Amino acid sequence: MVSSAGEPQILLHPRSRVVNILPSAVLQELILAVGSEWVISDPDRLLVYEADAQTAQKLAPQAVVLPSDTEEVSRVARVLHRHGVPIVPRGAGTGLSGGALAIEGGVVVGTSRMNRILEVDPENRRAVVQCGVLNTDLSAAAAPFGLHYAPDPSSQTACTIGGNVAENSGGPHCLKYGVTSRYITGLRVVLPDGETVWLGGQAREAPSFDLVGLFVGSEGCFGLATEVEVALVPVPEATRTLLAIFETLGDATRAVTSIISVGLLPAALEIVDQNTIKAVEASIFAAGYPTDAGAALVVEFDGIDAGLELEAEEAARCCEVAGARGVRRAESEEERLALWKGRKKAFGAMGRLAPDLLVQDATVPRSRLTEVLARISEVAERYDIQVANVFHAGDGNLHPNIVFDRRDPDETRRVEDASKEIMRICVDAGGTITGEHGVGADKRKYMPLVFSPQELEVLRGVRGVFDPEGLCNPGKVVPELEGGR
Amino acid sequence: MRHQIRSLLGTMVAPEALVPDGELECWRTGQGQQGLPAAVLAPSTEEELARVLARASEEGWRVLPAGLGRWLEGGGPSDVSVVVSTRRMQEVHEYEPANLTFTAGAGLSFSGLRKTTEPHGQWLPLDPPGGLVGSLGAAVALGIGGPLRHLYGTPRDHVLGLTLVAGDGRILRWGGRVVKNVAGFDVTRLSVGSWGSLGVVTSISARLFPIPEAEVTLIIQGGKVSVLLPLARAMALSSLPLAAVELLDPLELKGSGLAEVGAEPAGPGLVLRLLGSHAQVEEMEARVRSDLSHEVGSLQRLEGETSRAFHETLNGWEEGADLVARLCLLPSELGTLLDEAEEVRDLVSKASSPPGAGMRLSAHVGAGVLRVAVPKLPEGDGGLDPWVSSLRSLRARLEERGGSLTLSSGPSALLREVGAWGAAGEEKALMAGLKAEFDPQGILAPGRLGL
């Protein structure tokens, strides 16, 4: 970290390594790398980048660069690597774990300009896209060939494929189709030192380590995937959608267990609880769910038309046996969207309940859903906090969302304590701390719940293979050892 | 040295964990004295294995992780000191039908798993080469699938978690038994398909699926393989959720009973496997038949148990061959792969009579994978020379097009000269770094994957 005379030194905090000031020489080099119009250093404009969709913690980066292709990303990485400045990749900023937060300072590399679809290859059911392409734009480009990109995170109209790769995103239909990593077959990656490598590739069916599988879900800690080869699947020919209304949340989860146990494989099994229903119905997103219901369950089947009807009927029977008050069927695409509305708009509606929202993402074995949810409700009562559940029931992926007001220190403390306890309950039930949102900055402190010190050390080592200097999205995923790295 | 290894191991593990000397011949990894391991260890616990691997790392023993010992020559290395078998790790640790997941020892065979899950109407839809007698651990370590990959994918898509005893003896648990999990980096996926070069996989959690209610196989024949190819491609690209689309040449399969149903075993055949509910399978069959009506020479139909038995036989397709090569390109380039295979046929012709007899082809049509099996390679000095140069140039051509050639099995002399794998290319430095992280002394399966 040599600086020329008169330049401010990069100031590294001895413990946290936070970069306080970006030397103007570095800024100049970044401008050379991507052009002045794509380097942001004005503090006011940097505020946009001070958080992602998880806003509990805010920290503006020293600068933001917006490269347009792999070559520019590589140039940017070289500059930052040479000067020892942290590099923080960022897609659309829809992440829910603080993954795109410049927690140790440094420069955010935004991918918004890398939004070109490079190839749609229906003959091989694949596409190659730049990392900044939006999830739904990829499916739209594949649609003329009867194909789509299967993983469908709730933010899919806004989130990028690169962000999906970083987080290994899920979505309601991942119950049947699987999550992002199933669909990523190749990656062009700019490593933290600026080197570019191509990992995997569908043609190669590589007899090598599954580096693509390892990279997916690495949360920006291994480098920046600039181009992504994805597998596409046929758009389902038909769907059947049901909405079942239950008196209690326990009845709804018992219905889910029963649907899975009888051997049905729906495309989606989604639950919203009473608190969520109330929030949705009181908002502009009102979907017509009864507000006195304990829970609502959306069940969807897709595939070829034959047999779907029977499956839907069997699922409806499972719901009735579990005590459903009523089961509604969508008879048209319009009705289908209406049934989904209460589920899809749940997060948006919760903003009404209180100023702050803590979104959790733990996953438990599907057979333990009923029991775990009962314990979560117990915890909520004991700490006197309000929990609204909206979740991918078929995958056992819970989203207990805690609404609160951060300005109230006592409530904030109760929320934090309850949150810890909920996490522990899920892990003890054989689950894990995050199913699809990622660890990020947010859940790093919970990693020792699921990994031994030795395993955490291996994770640090694996990261070090890609990023020996620890400059790529530092402060994320793996907790640091006492006294620094 | 051999004696020393055996006596040292004798002090470290229970007597029943060491395979008796008299049985060592069954665990050969290659020809000659070199191909005979000094010891074969079959630990019953992870701790026992960990102790041995820690010591092996200190001593620098070359260790080959293995399952039930049915495919030891695959991929090399042929000279190892200790073979580790998971055959005493066959316990089902956990099976929760309502969660559609299980956790079991890596030595459990596919048939053992089936015995556990079938009564609950569930299965693991993987059909790697080697079939039901193979172990789960081997399929996971190799990351390899079979025809069912068309619908269900390969082990990377099913494994939820695993225990890995690293090269230096660390016992590491990754993932779990939940179907969605993004806590930490995905070492589970890294381990799947790592060919035992990072650690010994001792326990596996995976997701299960409901056993489909109905099953039908349609076998289409008529003309040469080049005539069937466009049809095969069209089927692989159809919007129907076919479970498998396989092109075989010849169709012949020992023990499959195909001749009895009227198939022509000597000719090529396109095999379509239909799985689903009765209504779905009926619909798929009707639509396949209507797509075929103008083109087909003959169509045979297998149903239910007969169909299932046929596919079980198909899983043993690679067995008994002197050489199995795996050629990969994009699925749309399957025609190129078939052309390339003709070069291998020329070699077979020169070495056999009648010319070309015995070479077999099997393509996973939707994946762009062509397997070539040669039953008998020439013996004696120089007999393999043309094979070495020919396979090397075939690999170069495929890699040039972004594809690959791997040799799943073959005589150790040939594997040594040609290499089971091609160049790791741009990934090599990262792979070497990861290998060093898990197996710092480089004792596990040295040479595999070019490391």
Backbone dihedral angles phi then psi of residue B313, each to the nearest 5 degrees: -65, -40
The three-class DSSP label of residue B31 is coil
Contact map slice: B 102-141 vs A, CB within 8 A: 121-122
Flag whether residue A311 sits within 8 Å of chain B, measured between CB atoms: yes
Phi, psi of B155 (to 5 degrees): -50, -30
C-alpha to C-alpha distance for B379 and A365, rounded to whole angstroms: 55
pLDDT in tens, B105-162: 999 999 999 999 999 999 999 999 988 999 999 999 999 999 999 999 999 999 999 9
Contact present, A108 and A117 (Cβ < 8 Å): no
Residue corresponding to tokens 């400045």: A85
For residue A345, CA distances in Å to A246, A278, A284, A337, B248 come to 20, 12, 10, 11, 50
CB contact under 8 A, B183 and A443: yes
Q: How far is the C-alpha of B347 from the C-alpha of B345, rounded, in Å?
A: 5
Min Cα–Cα distance to chain B from A2, Å: 29
- Asked whether the beta carbons of residue A430 and residue B329 sit closer than 8 angstroms, the reply is no
Mean pLDDT calculated for residue range B419-435: 92
Label residue B306 exposed, middle or buried (CB < 10 Å: 0-12, 13-18, 19+): middle
Q: Nearest-CA neighbor of B49 among B2, B15, B11, B17?
A: B17
With a CB-CB cutoff of 8 Å, which residues 242-271 of chain B face chain A?
A: none
Do the two domains B214-315 and B323-422 of this chain adopt the same fold? yes
Q: Which region among A37-46, B202-211, B226-235, B420-429 has the lowest average model confidence (pLDDT)? A: B420-429
User: What's residue B31's pLDDT?
Assistant: 81
What are the chain A neighbours of B143 within 8 Å (beta carbons)? 210
Nearest to A466 among B182, B194, B430 (CB): B430
- For residue A219, pLDDT over 60 is answered with yes
Band of pLDDT at residue B343, cut at 50, 70 and 90: confident
Q: Do the chains contact at B181 and A363, CB–CB below 8 Å?
A: yes
* Rounded Cα distance, A413 and A429, in Å: 25
Nearest to B288 by CA among A306, A142, A144: A306
Give me the residue spans of the domains in chain B: 2-87, 92-210, 214-315, 323-422
Q: Which residue of A has its CA nearest to B399?
A: A204
Among the partner-chain residues A170, A205, A364, the one whose CB lies closest to the CB of B369 is A205
For residue A390, the Cα-to-chain-centroid distance in whole angstroms is: 15
Domains, chain A: 24-110 (3.30.43.10), 117-234 (3.30.465.10), 239-428 (3.40.462.10)
What value does the mean pLDDT take over residues B395-412? 92
- Residue A65 and residue A33: Cα distance in Å, rounded? 9
In a mutational test of the B interface, the residue from A210, A372, A433 whose CB has the highest number of chain B CBs within 10 Å is: A210
Rounded CA separation B396/B141 (Å):
26
Pick the residue from chain A with its C-alpha nearest to B155: A182
CATH of domain B214-315: 3.30.70.2190
Q: Which of the residue ranges A14-18, A161-165, B289-293 would you say has the lowest mean pLDDT?
A: A14-18
Statement: residue B234 has pLDDT above 90: yes
pLDDT band at A395 (very low <50, low <70, confident <90, very high): very high
Residue of B nearest to A221 (CA): B185
Convert the pLDDT of each residue in A286-338 to its tens digit. Answer: 889 999 999 999 999 999 999 999 999 999 999 999 999 999 999 999 999 98
At residue B309, the 3 state secondary structure works out as helix
| In the predicted structure, residue B22 carries a pLDDT above the cut 60 | yes
Average pLDDT over every residue of A357-367: 93
Task: Express each pLDDT in A67-93 by its tens digit.
Answer: 999 999 999 999 999 999 999 999 999
Q: Extract the tokens encoding B380.
A: 């004696």
Q: What pLDDT shows up at residue A8? A: 37
Reference A85, options A135, A33, A126, A129; nearest CA is A33
User: For B163-179, what is each residue's pLDDT tens digit?
Assistant: 999 999 999 999 999 99
Q: Give, as one character, the DSSP assignment of residue B200.
A: E
pLDDT band at B376 (very low <50, low <70, confident <90, very high): confident
Three-state SS annotation for chain A = CCCCCCCCCCCECCCCCCECCCCHHHHHHHHHHHCHHHEECCHHHHHHHCCCCCCCCCCCCCEEECCCCHHHHHHHHHHHHHHCCCEEEECCCCCCCCCCCCECECEEEECCCCCCEEEEEHHHCEEEEECCCEHHHHHHHHHHHCEECCCCCCCCCCCEHHHHHHHCCCCCCHHHHCCHHHCEEEEEEECCCCCEEEEECCCCCCCCCCHHHHHCCCCCCCCEEEEEEEECEECCCEEEEEEEEECCHHHHHHHHHHHHHCCCCCCEEEEEEHHHHHHHHCCCCCCCCCCCCCEEEEEEEEECCCCHHHHHHHHHHHHHHCCEEEEEECCCHHHHHHHHHHHHCHHHHHCCCCCEEEECECECCHHHHHHHHHHHHHHHHHHCCEEEEEEEHHHCECCEEEEECCCCHHHHHHHHHHHHHHHHHHHHCCCECECCCCCCCCCHHHHHHHCCHHHHHHHHHHHHHHCCCCCECCCCCCCCCCCCC
Query: pLDDT (tens digit, 9 = 90+) per residue, B248-261?
Result: 999 987 766 676 66
Query: What chain B residue is nearest to A465 in terms of C-alpha separation?
Result: B433
Give residue A19's pLDDT band: very low, low, confident or very high (50, 70, 90): low
* Mean pLDDT of the B11-39 span: 92
What ipTM was reported for this prediction? 0.96
Of B225, B269, B262, B264, the C-alpha closest to B245 is B269
The chain-wide mean pLDDT, for chain A, equals: 92
CATH number of B92-210: 3.30.465.10
Separation CA A171–CA A280 (nearest Å): 19
Q: B367 and A437 in contact by Cβ < 8 A? A: no
Interface test with A, best of B185, B333, B369 (most A CBs within 10 A): B185
Closest by CA to A123, choosing from B400, B366, B288, is B366
The pLDDT, as a whole number, for residue A10 is 38
Dist. CA A90–CA A52, nearest whole Å:
9
- Closest CA of chain B from A484, distance in Å: 19
Phi, psi (rounded to 5 degrees) for A394: -65, -25
Q: Does domain B2-87 have CATH number 3.30.43.10?
A: yes
For the cut 90, the answer to whether the pLDDT of residue B378 exceeds it is no
Q: Is A174's Cβ below 8 Å from some Cβ in B?
A: yes
Where is average pLDDT lowest: A193-197, A260-264, B145-149? A260-264
Q: How far apart are the first and last CA of chain A?
A: 19
Helices (H), B13-122: 46-59, 110-117
A476 in contact with B, Cβ within 8 Å: no
Tell how strand B244-249 and strand B360-364 pair up. Answer: antiparallel
Out of A283-287, A467-471, B431-435, which region has the weakest mean confidence (pLDDT)? A283-287
Query: CA B185, CA B419: separation in Å to the nearest integer?
Result: 31
Q: What pLDDT band is residue A482 in, cutting at 50, 70 and 90? A: low
Please give the structure tokens belonging to residue A315: 């699922």
Helices B385-400 and B334-351 pack at an angle, to 10 degrees, of 170
Q: With CA atoms as reference, report the closest residue to A185 among A166, A165, A223, A212.
A: A212
Residue A2 has pLDDT above 50, yes or no: no
- Chain B (209-238) residues lying within 8 Å, Cβ to Cβ, of chain A: 209-211, 237
Q: Which two tokens stand for residue B27?
A: 């665990």
Could you tell me which residue, B254 or A117, shows the higher pLDDT?
A117
When pLDDT is averaged across residues B218-246 and rounded to a whole number, the result is 94
What pLDDT was estimated at residue B357?
A: 64
Q: Which residues of B touch A305 (CB under 8 A)?
A: 283
Class at the top of the CATH hierarchy for domain B323-422: alpha beta
Output phi, psi for A431, to 5 deg.
-105, -160
Q: Give B-chain residues touching A221 at CB under 8 angstroms.
A: 185
Q: Could you tell me the pLDDT band of residue B52, with boundaries at 50, 70 and 90?
A: very high
Average pLDDT of the residues in A450-473: 97
A113 token code pair: 């300009």
Burial of residue A221 (CB within 10 Å: 0-12, 13-18, 19+) is: buried
CB-based contact, A173 to chain B, within 8 Å: no
Instruction: With CB atoms and an 8 Å threshold, state whether A197 touches B100.
Output: no
Q: Which residues of B are less than 8 Å from A263 in CB distance?
A: 121-122, 210-211
CA angle B417, B421, B423 (to 5 degrees): 100
Which of A205, A451, A461 shows the shortest C-beta gap to B367? A205
CB contact under 8 A, A214 and B331: no
Nearest Cβ partner for A170 among B121, B180, B426: B180
Q: Is A99 exposed, middle or buried (0-12, 13-18, 19+ CB in 10 A)?
A: buried
Q: What is the pLDDT of chain B when averaged over all its residues?
A: 92
The DSSP bridge partners found for residue B163 are: B173, B203
The SS3 of residue B18 is strand
Dihedral pair phi/psi, residue A113, rounded to 5°: -85, -15
